[in-house]
Amino acid sequence: MPELFSEFKIKGVRLKNRIGVSPMCQYSSVEGHANAWHLAHLGGFTIGGAGLVIAEATAVSPEGRISPSDTGLWTDAQAESFVPITTFVESLGAVPGIQIAHAGRKACTPKPWEGERQLEPDHPDAWEPIGPSPIAFGGSVWRVPHEMTLEDISRVQKAFADAATRAHRAGFRWLELHFAHGYLGQSFFSPLANKRTDAYGGSFENRSRFLLETLAAVRAVWPQNLPLTARLGVIDYVPGEQPLEEAIELAKLMKAGGLDLLDVSLGFNTPDISRVPWGEPAFLAPIAHRIRTEAEIPVATSWNISDPQIANDLISKEKLDVVLLAKGLLADPHWPYHAAKALGIDHPGNVLPAQYAGWLKGR
Ligand SMILES: Cc1cc2nc3c(=O)[nH]c(=O)nc-3n(C[C@H](O)[C@H](O)[C@H](O)COP(=O)(O)O)c2cc1C
């Protein structure tokens, strides 16, 4: 059996294989509620055989949404709206996960297909983005965020903890903190976005403080026997970014603070993404492997891992613990079935539910 299809046990959770659905915002929610679209979207990948299904960046507070159409977890009714999804994912033996997030200074944009920009302050759906420092992200994300006060910081950290409690109540068994992609957690860590002179800015220790405190607040409410993970942007490929060694040090501190797995990703702290090696398959895997070795923490990563042989090698050579896919699954929600075929599994149809498996014998 190719290692990609081996089980992965972490805390009280067992993934049936090493294939995870990377979180993907759908910008399809009304008032933060999950709906039939989200069920079809995540249900499709569950039918397709992924062992872990992580729901999109879900805002912990209204101003933490990327767009007005993001899902949220700041009300109990929003949590309730996810129950059909967690129930369905569980029913097929996969693990339902969710990424909880605050968009920080990159908040308040329309749906991506409605144009790359931020909503003007006088737009009826707009709100004021917040961030560690009053510095705009740049490019089309031009609005200068309100510099967070200490009260804002504690309020947002409490919102993360409350969202985690609601996520558990909704049936999620895998939680990912979004500390990547230039959103709030990431921007506290990045010297490109964080110019504070108080305890939350400046030194490595201070720039890590928001992330570690948020992790602690969530760990205190998220069940000990369930995996708590974070997606951290560890590299931006731009001048002025923090050295990779700092991200590795932060991973060690997060592990000591109760983190169970790190989802290694990009920083996206500036609009300049020209040096990211987009075309290279699995380009973050060597960095993820380094973090796995030096911080001694299980890792996952995404970014261009849609070749089944490469995905399998990354697992069998113990470079990664879980591979995450986004665009590869959009293109082919039955990617695990096709990967099983490509890797020579006897009855690849068995990767799919009984309703499909028998009909695909010999195919
Ligand atoms: C439609 C779409 C929405 C995304 N939304 C999120 C998100 O909610 N949270 C996140 O951390 N990354 C998000 N991403 C990034 C993916 O999770 C993934 O890391 C990235 O696409 C690289 O993986 P891939 O090469 O398999 O596409 C999104 C990507 C896509 C294509």
Share of the chain above pLDDT 70, in %: 100
CA of 57 to the centre of ligand 1 (A): 9
Distance CA(211)–CA(312), nearest Å, equals 32
How far does residue 99's CA lie from ligand 1's centre (Å)?
11
Amino acid at position 213, single letter: E
Per the structure, the complete domain to which residue 169 belongs is given by 3-360
CB of 260 within 6 A of ligand 1: the answer is no
Q: What does the radius of gyration of the chain's CA atoms come to, in whole angstroms? A: 20
- CATH of residue 124's domain is 3.20.20.70
Number of domains comprising the chain = 1
**Given ligand 1 and candidates 19, 24, 106, which is best to mutate, with the most ligand atoms within 8 Å of its CB?**
24
Structural contact between residues 118 and 140, judged by C-beta atoms closer than 8 angstroms: yes
Q: To test the ligand 1 pocket, which listed residue (19, 22, 58) has its Cβ within 8 A of the most ligand atoms?
A: 22
Question: Is the Cβ atom of 186 under 6 angstroms away from ligand 1?
Answer: no
Give kind and range of the element (H or E) at residue 155.
helix 150-169
The rounded distance, in Å, linking the Cα atoms of 93 and 173 is: 12
Longest dimension (CA), the chain: 65
Is the beta carbon of 302 within 6 A of some atom in ligand 1? yes
Number of H helices, E strands in the chain: 12, 12
Whole-number pLDDT of residue 362: 83
The reported pLDDT for the residue numbered 29 is: 98
Q: What pLDDT is attached to residue 350?
A: 96
| pLDDT given for residue 363 in this prediction | 87
Q: What does the pLDDT look like over 121-139, one tens digit per residue?
A: 999 999 999 999 999 999 9
What is the per-residue pLDDT across 186-213, written as a single tens digit (0 to 9) for each? 999 999 999 999 999 999 999 999 999 9
Q: Which helix (H) or strand (E) holds 52?
A: strand 52-59
Q: What's phi and psi for 67, nearest 5 deg?
A: -135, 165
Could you tell me the distance, in angstroms and rounded to a whole number, from the CA of residue 174 to the centre of ligand 1? Answer: 17
CA distance 303 to 179: 16
pTM assigned to the model: 0.98
List the catalytic residue out of 183, 237, 337, 356: 183
Query: Amino acid identity, residue 220?
Result: A
Residues in the chain where the model's pLDDT stays below 70: none
Element (H, E) at 265: strand 261-266
